[in-house]
Structure 1
Amino acid sequence: MHEENRSMIVLLPVYQPSHHLPTLMTELRRVAPRCRFVIVDDGSSPAAAEVLRQAENLGGTVLRHPRNQGKGVALKTGLRYAAQQHPGHDVVCADADGQHSVTDIVRVADRVAQTGHTVLGVRRFAENVPLRSKVGNTVTQVLFRAATGRGVQDTQTGLRAYPSALLEWLGTVPGERFEYEMNVLLEAARAGHRIEQVVITTTYLDDNASSHFSPLSDSARIYWPLLRYAAAALLTPARATR
């Protein structure tokens, strides 16, 4: 890991976190002793208290929402905290459920430091990926390219690195739940921000059973802004393809 990334901010939005959270923190701290953890607990039940206490004992800052407000709100809470308390530091957002390896988190962190651009850790949608994820990603890839003229291999990846210069801007992007991450990509395309992509290996535990993604309501939230953006693009023939 590059020296400049050893003081990176790792943002972990959680809801009903398991033992994977302190395990990930411990493994990351081994390779990056100076990294700082910001955990946003999005209204977990009292059953999560022990895991969150372990996270605090490992040096993590735990920010708490009194009720569940959605992943987008949790991410913005953490990004706002990082911008205010750790100005000038890049932020790596990761899932704390065991899907993202320390190696991949480090690779994404290194790329944002090298380029100064937003970096996505994009999954290989191979045989071990749940069918719903594979189909959903194929559809969103096609729609995203049609809407923006850009190719993004994995629009719903939870492993993303953001340069410090964009942290305040990220707080202005609309979205409260899973649609926030799609809105970030759409608004980045609109604003002309560069997006880098790093291929990662993702582990799906029990067919992604720990996910709090609702196939119906959250899919609707994701596709609505994408379809709206695509419709606006079709009504503007002069839009330049980037």
Structure 2
Amino acid sequence: MDSPRPVQHDFRDTWLIIPCYNEGPVIQEVIENARETFPNIVAVNDGSSDDSAARIHAGGAHLVNHPVNLGQGAAIQTGVEYARAQPGARYFVTFDADGQHQVKDVVRMIGRLREEPVDIIVGTRFGRPRAADDQVPWIKRVVLKTVVFLSPATRRLGLSDAHNGLRVFNKKVADEMNIRMNGMSHASELVSMIADRGWRVAEEPVDILYTEYSMSKGQSLINGVNILADGLLARRL
């Protein structure tokens, strides 16, 4: 007798939420690649001054525009509100616009969310042997580990990389999510929501692709400084 074949999902019940600010050079390719697996994508153009909106439309995603730049937290909240209102939406993903996140990781995380008693799964860059961790630029690796040290809530939840933008969650979390911190500090706010609302949380090792494009924008250093400031704020949460 043949072994049973694994269940294949078409992901029509899943929505990717992509916050986007001035990612015109890459956003269309990111969307087109993701849509090969996930047909439902909403990209929030957060007041971009480039052609991001046109590239989002060309890529085939649902487009929501912020007339001015409000910050990543606000863009994610807008995307969640749009996605959770769609018929049949059960699972939700926050996914970066710059090409750093991998569709294969999302597929695996959604599979866990369907099968395991968890509400939200957060990607981590630190769940594999050190050789894999070396994909993370050293300054960001130091900053991220420092933020965990500074955040009691993050440590209580057993999270090693709470500022990883790749997250998957169910309808319960989407319905209760209400991000008020517009900028980078939304990540610490989400950690507090997980703790305060009793959402069942797990981590999943993921691959982050640090491309020439993303590195040329200085994201490692700029985001590192922002995340460290966020970590100091998290001590008060």
TM-score when normalising by structure 2:
0.83
Q: Secondary structure of the residue that 1:119 maps to in structure 2?
A: strand
Equivalent residue number for residue 237 of structure 1: none
Equivalent residue number for residue 211 of structure 2: 205
Equivalent residue number for residue 183 of structure 1: 189
Q: Secondary structure of the residue that 1:5 maps to in structure 2?
A: coil
CA-CA distance at 1:225 after TM superposition? 3.4
Correspondence list, 1:1-242, <5 A:
2-3=8-9, 5-32=11-38, 35-55=39-59, 58=60, 60-86=61-87, 88-115=89-116, 116-124=118-126, 126-145=133-152, 149-171=156-178, 173-206=179-212, 208-210=215-217, 211=219, 213-216=222-225, 219-220=228-229, 222-229=230-237
CA-CA distance at 1:24 after TM superposition? 2.5
> Residue type of the partner of 1:51?
R
Deviations 1:88-134 (A, max 9, x none): 42111110211111111211222222234101111137223212210
CA-CA distance at 1:189 after TM superposition? 1.3
Q: Aligned partners of 1:17 and 1:118: how far apart in 2? A: 27
Distance 1:95 1:52, change over 3 A: same
Q: Is the 8 A contact 1:2 1:110 kept in 2?
A: no
Q: Is the 8 A contact 2:109 2:121 kept in 1?
A: yes
Distance 1:72 1:151, change over 3 A: same
Aligned length: 222
Q: Is the 8 A contact 1:18 1:97 kept in 2?
A: no
> Residue type of the partner of 2:100?
Q
> Residue type of the partner of 2:234?
L
Q: Aligned partners of 1:63 and 1:31: how far apart in 2? A: 21
Give the RMSD, CA atoms, in angstroms.
2.4
> Residue type of the partner of 2:202?
E
Which blocks of at least 5 consecutive residues in structure 2 are unaligned? 1-6, 127-131
Distance 1:157 1:218, change over 3 A: closer
CA-CA distance at 1:219 after TM superposition? 3.4
Q: Aligned partners of 2:151 and 2:143: how far apart in 1? A: 12
Which blocks of at least 5 consecutive residues in structure 1 are unaligned? 230-242
Q: Aligned partners of 1:106 and 1:20: how far apart in 2? A: 21
After the TM superposition, list the runs of 4 or more consecutive aligned residues in structure 1 that deviate by more than 4 angstroms: 145-148, 212-218
CA-CA distance at 1:18 after TM superposition? 3.3
Seq. identity, %: 23
CA-CA distance at 1:194 after TM superposition? 1.3
CA-CA distance at 1:87 after TM superposition? 5.5
Q: Secondary structure of the residue that 1:106 maps to in structure 2?
A: helix
CA-CA distance at 1:31 after TM superposition? 3.1
